[in-house]
Structure 1
Amino acid sequence: MTKQEFATLVVAMQAMYGKDFIGTEQALDVWYALLHDLDYQILSKVLQQYMLTNKFKPTVAELREIYTELVSPTISDWSEGWEQVSKAIGHCGMYQEKAAMESFDEITREVVKRLGFQNICLSENIVADRARFAEIYQAIKKRKRTEVNVESALPNLWEMVQNRLAELAQKGQKAIEQEKDKT
């Protein structure tokens, strides 16, 4: 997204939430650094959706979360993953672990690796296994959502902070030089 496109979105946010929505030029730069990697058209739809469903000002995190939900592949619910495991146990049995693992989606495969496919097959407490599966599945799902959401913004924010620190150092150096010239 270009700065011009971002400015269009800022105008919309200010119209909805007030002129002081973002505030300072530095705040505007931070918002842009955290959102500029997103597609303008999609972010525009996200903002419209947010404005229609929320009374309060959005945060960068809220906008990125909605954006991620729109663009990332659907991550199933833990119960769908558990259903895959149950079917694989019935179809493959404990001795065809490789075939079973290939039938799982990415998150289910990771959970089953942690729990052990044969351990699940031989378990005498399927209720406890299902509960552990759900807990691990939800943690992995949350981590993956965060990775998708944050991954592209972090390098840009780091670069922006480094540039801002360099600017401040230059201003400080100029101020010192001006003080020396006065004396």
Structure 2
Amino acid sequence: MPHIRIANDLPGIRGLMTDRPDTAAPLNAIADTLLRGDSPLTRGERELIAAYVSELNATRFCADTHGAAAAAQLDGGIDLVKAVQHDADTAPLTPLLRALLRIAAEIQAQAAPVRDETVAAARAEGATDTHIHDTVLIAAAFCMYNRYVSGLATVLPTEPGYYEEAGRRITAHGYAAAV
């Protein structure tokens, strides 16, 4: 049961944003910029970073929503997403994406500088400053989104197929027009 009264039946962050459109607009704009704006990372790769961080934070709503959006945009689909969420070190990823997920995991674990060795390993796989910047910012933002959703004890969807539909909606329309 949510810690606050939510005047709609929408699960997760969608319920919160519907109740508070004043905060929803900037939060959705951030998500849209990070996950759909200009980046050397594909939209699917950025959604995968969001899903991975959300999995590490045990925020089921975000892990499954962004996992579905990643699956809709990546070769390997949901099997790849599940493999990453289970163990990113053994999932069938490019060495660059694996190295970037290690950076994301360090951001999720603590508010401290990413270890020099982790950044050097990513650079050795071809990471540019923009790859590293975008990965750190996505991971940091999703720690905030996850804490928003989990901290208020939002409900999970009960409808079968909810996450797949959310993934299709996000892929087609993004976040700025969401809610």
TM-score of the pair, normalised by structure 2:
0.26
More helix by share: 1
Higher relative contact order, structure no. (Cα contacts within 8 Å, ≥ 6 residues apart): 2
Structure 1-normalised TM-score?
0.25
Larger Rg: 1
